[in-house]
Structure 1
Amino acid sequence: MRLTVLAAAAALMITGTPAVQASGDVAVPRINWASCGPENPGFECASVKVPLDYDEPRGATTTIALARKPATDKAGRIGSLFLNPGGPGGSGVNFALGAGNTLSANLKGRFDIVGFDPRGIGKSDPLHCFASEAELDEFFEGVPGFPYQAAQERPFYDRYRSLGPECRDDQRIARHMSTADVARDLDLLRRAVGDRKLNYLGFSYGSFLGATYANLFPNNIRALVVDGVLNPELWSSGRQVESDRIATKEEFREFLRTCDEARCVFGPKSEQRWDALLKSVRAKPIQLGDQLYTYDAVIGAAIGAMYSPSDWPDAAALFDQLSDAAGSLSVAAEADYSNGFDAYNGNVCADIEFPRAFESYQATSRYAARGSEFGPFWWWSNAACANWPVNEDRFTGPWRTRTNAPVLVVGNHFDGVTDFRGAQAVNRQIAGSRLLAYAGWGHTAYGISQCATDHTNAYLLEGKLPAVGTVCPANPNPFLPSVTAAAEPLFKPARR
């Protein structure tokens, strides 16, 4: 993005390097809230126009959709709390509609709970790479979830690489989906709701949006929470696989350990059973009922379970059935759809400059596999960006800043999606921030750990930070029968 002299100078004073800071010259949109309809009682919805390109604030616009649960304590109202559920590609509107009542109650009705669909996502001028849902389904036909055999690599790369021209050529929004522009939208929305400073709660990828906002608008914060934290230095440089290849393995080993400890159906000696299952399904897919499980599907099921320990008993039961079946069964032979897959790539490819050459994807996959069996799963989908130019308005750091109010950084010791080292990194990068650790498992802590939830609520309501070095204790073993029902989180962030 081309900088004005004043914006560049202000950013230089804060971060030591030029960076786009503000959207202060942009006209603040008026929000006309209206009922979201009888299916969402007590919620209000709206849409506003924001600049498509902040270099041209009076030029073309794009639409941002919003939903809010108004504060119930009008006298004690603090302001608006903006949400991001992760992804990228997760709908903040749907997140607010689904979690708004719970969040409002947790925060004593003192905030308007506001979700917005980031540009290009959901109801916000959505990017569509396909003409219909059937065409989207056709895209996935004949390719694995990720290539786990050498012969699969080139076809997978070619299929995903083809997304670039398909998605970006005829849609303006495809060239303006960087997280930096989402942060600029967020600051404009802050002004539109009348808040002098931002209140924000972001999960998973939402932590990257939060870190980006903190770097672009470090003086505009009242309270900012990031939970399930990506290291922005790794994410923005395309090196997130350095973390991914280890993080999932660390949590999955805890899945196996707690399974054996609780004598779950996949034990005893669940690690040996897992290794044997992978060896078997890599050699030959397993038919279970009317579903065929290939190696990539089993790996995908394991990674999916790492998002929430409440899913662990079901995952263990599946792996037990697959292990039993492995030795006994043979193999049987319009653009109006949810755009989460399209939007994920639209945002990631705008933010991150990935390699172009097939050989680079092969080499990085080998590196990822040396970390764990889960590494290649996280890596290969980035091939969608191999023919997709990055956005000129993206922000790539440096990621060190000092904010006017302290940021709360929340991380789980065993998070197989955004590992604890990411939270530690952001705590170092944002001067004055406070790290809150949860010693348990799963992706994000709010609504899962009562301790972490209470500390987060106190921070949002009163600005009260947990003591330095606070570690919330782990919940009981997820496989214990008495725990299973209580372990279900209040809500789940969108999967990145």
Structure 2
Amino acid sequence: MLKPLATILAALLAITGQPAIATATATPSAETRPGSESTVRPSSVTPSVVTAGSSLTWQPCPNDKIGMECADLQVPVDWHKPDDRKITLKLGRLKATGASEGSVLVAYGGPGGPGIATTAAVPDWWARLRERMDIVTWDTRGYGEQFGGLSTGLACVWTRIPIPEAPRDDAGFGRLSDTNRGFAEACRHQDPQLFANMSSADQAKDMEAIRKALGGAKLNYYGASYAGFYGQDYARLFPDQIRTMVLDGTWNHSPADWSRELEEMAKSNEQSMRRFFTWCATHDCQDVPGLWHKLTERARRKPIPTTTANMAYNARDLQSLALFMARQGAPAWPALARAIRKAAGQGDASDFVPARGARYPDQTTPVTECLDWPRPTTIKELASTDARLRKIAPLTGTANTLASATLTCIGWPAPVTNPPAPLPKGVPPVLGAGAWGESDAVERALAAVPGSVTIRHDGPGHTLYGFNPCARDLMNRYFTDLTLPPPNTQC
């Protein structure tokens, strides 16, 4: 389930607040560029940092209909205090239908996407891989019943709030900080210790506990969407414990230069709009690019109204909504052209209002994300970043980048405990995958890992495993045989 900053990552990753992996629309092809396949050699084993039990007690999952078993694993709420309070992780397992050769740990993103419920909804995805391997998943810490999860949850009201406008001065920055802190404190008050330990790095340490509880064999991991950040953190923390790792439809939490990565996000968004405008040039909407420039300039001065009560969109709102439509590809482009014409010509942005009827972009209280991503600390820093990205991406500005997403984290009562950082030496080759934009981002994340390969889908969608048979077959072969596809593979 994608939430918090992931509503921005939603458009970064082409998702919209639902189970992350369940929203892809990629239309696969079976084309693979020629080349030689490579075989990954396991890295040497070194002692792991985290300790956990060595066995699990499996029994049928609650309301099980597919033969999934569940087990409880106790882990520290704060991994820096391993002997302190414990929380419960609920694990799910689909046993191999043939002789098991090991386990693949699966996470669907979110953060907070319930692994057990999502796996139960899509068991056919794993049918071929289950011929040789167990499929293991878990419900991530902090995201309990309200997210469909069975692990220890943070019992707070997950308030939906609009992503705010960027403040223009110190006073506005202070007001935004106070507003964000108010939302956050309501959650933090329920369980301050858990609130402060819900980063992707904490999830990665939970993954290491799961690996050890499964018997200690090296990790095979599939991470989709936001769970790709769990994988990147695991690679930073436990590089010697990885056998195979797939990062599918994720973004880059491993840059050497965060400012440069923000620029790459903006460039990717700009490319999405230019792709749409290129299509317009030959599809009777040649007037739309000019109308778009006029519309966004007008919306910067005054939000464009809609027929929905109390709903009007500023320039960044329109850019975010247009990007969501543009990333869906040609089937959505005629509607986007009509929406721009209507808003520019009639002053009515109603065709941008999402079908669900909520203000967009919006998000729920962003606990994990505010621990994972840098946020501006001064109005000067914010204004400088905003100006730089708007120059790089005049069509889309800061929309759907973490420069705008992290506005909701200004004033957060917990520090960024898990900032982006490059992957270390010693990580074995990793397999990335993604559609438009995603494949570029994951390739940047893996640039420091020699031998890594990224499967690309030149089209819309979010994540490939569940929807692209070509990519799924290649990922399965990597998991079972340690065989990577050739570089520049297209699916």
User: Smaller-chain TM-score range?
Assistant: 0.7 to 0.9
Aligned residue runs from structure 1 range 213-224, under 5 A: 213-224=234-245
Residue number in structure 2 paired with 1:104? 126
Secondary structure in 2 aligned to 1:430?
Answer: coil
Residue 429 in structure 1 maps to residue 448 in structure 2: yes
Match of residue 463 from structure 1:
482
Instruction: State which of 163, 183, 193 in structure 2 corresponds to 1:145.
Output: 163
Determine the C-alpha separation between the residues in 2 that align with 1:249 and 1:470: 23
Contact 2:248 2:433 in 1 (8 A): yes
For residues 159-185 of structure 1, the C-alpha deviation after alignment (integer angstroms, 9 at most, x for no partner) is 224444333344120121232221111
1:394-433 matched pairs, under 5 angstroms? 394=418, 397-403=421-427, 405-412=428-435, 414-415=436-437, 418=438, 420=440, 422-433=441-452
1:218–1:234 CA distance, 2 compared to 1 (3 A): closer
The residue aligned with 1:194 is: 215
Cα distance in 2 for partners of 1:58, 1:92 equals 27
Partner of 2:27: none
Tell me the secondary structure at the aligned position of residue 375 of structure 1. Answer: coil
CA distance in 1, matches of 2:256, 2:187: 22
Instruction: Give, in whole Å, the separation in 2 of the partners of 1:34 and 1:302.
Output: 45
Match of 1:95 among 114, 118, 122: 118
Q: Contact between 1:449 and 1:472, CA under 8 Å: does it hold in 2?
A: no
User: Structure 1 residues 29, 153: closer, same or farther in 2, change over 3 A?
Assistant: farther
- 2:406 aligns with 382
1:65 counterpart residue number: 90
- The Cα of 1:128 is off from its aligned counterpart by 4.7
- Secondary structure at the aligned position of 2:127 is classed as helix
Greater relative contact order (Cα < 8 A, sep 6+): 2
Structure 2 residue runs without a partner (length 5+): 1-42, 351-361
Deviates more, 1:212-221 or 1:430-439: 430-439
- Give deviations 1:354-402, integer Å, cap 9, x for gaps: 333344323322223223224144323313143333366x476452222
TM (normalized to structure 2)?
Answer: 0.74
| Equivalent residue, structure 1, for 2:179 | 159
Deviates further, 219-228 or 345-354: 345-354
Q: Which structure features the higher share of helix residues? A: 1
CA contact (8 A) 1:308 1:443 kept: no
Q: Does 1:204 align with 2:225?
A: yes
Note the C-alpha offset of 1:48.
2.4
Which structure 2 residues correspond to residues 6-405 of structure 1 after superposition, within 5 A?
22-28=48-54, 30-37=56-63, 40-71=65-96, 73-75=97-99, 77-99=100-122, 101-107=123-129, 109-122=131-144, 123=149, 124-130=151-157, 136-137=159-160, 140=161, 145-147=163-165, 150=168, 154=173, 155-171=175-191, 172-194=193-215, 196-234=217-255, 240-258=261-279, 260-261=281-282, 263=283, 267-282=285-300, 283-288=302-307, 292-295=311-314, 296-305=316-325, 308-309=328-329, 313-314=331-332, 316-321=334-339, 323-324=341-342, 326-328=344-346, 345-372=366-393, 373-378=396-401, 379-383=403-407, 384-390=409-415, 394=418, 397-403=421-427, 405=428
Structure 1 residues 401, 88: CA separation in 2 closer, same or farther (over 3 Å shift)?
farther
Distance 1:346 1:74, change over 3 A: same
Secondary structure at the aligned position of 1:59 is classed as: coil
The 8 Å contact of residues 273 and 326 in structure 2, kept in 1 or not, is answered as yes
Contact 1:214 1:401 in 2 (8 A): no
SS across alignment from 2:239 = coil
Cα contact 1:80–1:195 (8 A) shared by 2:
no
Verify the 8 A CA contact 1:236 1:352 in the aligned structure 2: no
**Could you report, residue by residue, the CA deviation over 1:419-473 in whole angstroms, capped at 9, with x for unpaired residues?**
60x3333332123323333333444333444433332222123222112x33316
Q: Distance in 2 between matches of 1:361 and 1:271?
A: 28
Identity, in percent, stands at 25
Partner Cα distance (2:233, 2:117) in 1:
23
How high is the TM-score relative to the length of structure 1? Answer: 0.73
2:292 maps to a residue whose letter is W
Cα distance in 2 between the residues matched to 1:148 and 1:180: 29
Q: Distance in 2 between matches of 1:81 and 1:328?
A: 54
Q: For residues 273 and 450 of structure 1, do their structure 2 counterparts lie closer, same or farther at Cα, with a shift above 3 Å needed? A: farther
Aligned residues: 423
What is the DSSP-based 3-state SS (H/G/I as helix, E as strand, rest coil) of the residue aligned with 1:453? helix
Decide whether the 8 Å contact of 1:182 with 1:209 is kept in 2: yes
Provide the rounded CA distance (Å) in 2 between the counterparts of 1:150 and 1:300. 20
Give me the whole-angstrom Cα distance separating, in 2, the residues matched to 1:188 and 1:229: 23
Equivalent AA in structure 2 for residue 244 of structure 1: M
Q: Greater shift after overlay, 297-306 or 48-57?
A: 297-306
Give the C-alpha shift of residue 201 in structure 1.
1.0
The answer to whether the 8 A contact 2:442-2:454 is kept is yes
Instruction: Find the aligned partners of 2:182 and 2:378 in 1 and give their Cα distance.
Output: 13
Judged with a 3 Å threshold, the aligned counterparts in structure 2 of structure 1 residues 61 and 303 are, in CA distance, closer, same or farther, namely farther
Unaligned runs of 5+ in 1: 1-13, 15-19, 333-339, 474-496
Which amino acid counterpart does residue 115 of structure 2 have in structure 1? G
Contact 1:86 1:206 in 2 (8 A): yes
Q: Give me the whole-angstrom Cα distance separating, in 2, the residues matched to 1:388 and 1:269.
A: 47
Counterpart of 1:459, as a letter, is Y
Contact 1:411 1:445 in 2 (8 A): yes
Aligned 8 A contact 1:301 1:315 in 2: no
Match of 1:337 in 2: none
In 2, the alpha carbon distance for the partners of 1:315 and 1:63 equals 46
Deviation at 1:320, TM superposition (A): 0.7
Equivalent-residue separation in structure 1 for 2:72 and 2:410 (angstroms): 30
C-alpha distance in structure 2 between counterparts of 1:208 and 1:431, whole Å: 19
**Contact 1:277–1:323 (CA<8 Å) still a contact in 2?**
no
Which residue of structure 2 lines up, in the alignment, with residue 17 of structure 1?
Answer: none
Distance in 1 between residues matched to 2:419 and 2:457, nearest whole Å: 30
The change in CA–CA distance for 1:128 and 1:25 in structure 2 (over 3 A counts) is: closer
Instruction: Write the deviation string for residues 144-197 of structure 1: whole angstroms up to 9, x where unpaired.
Output: 534168499545454224444333344120121232221111011122233612
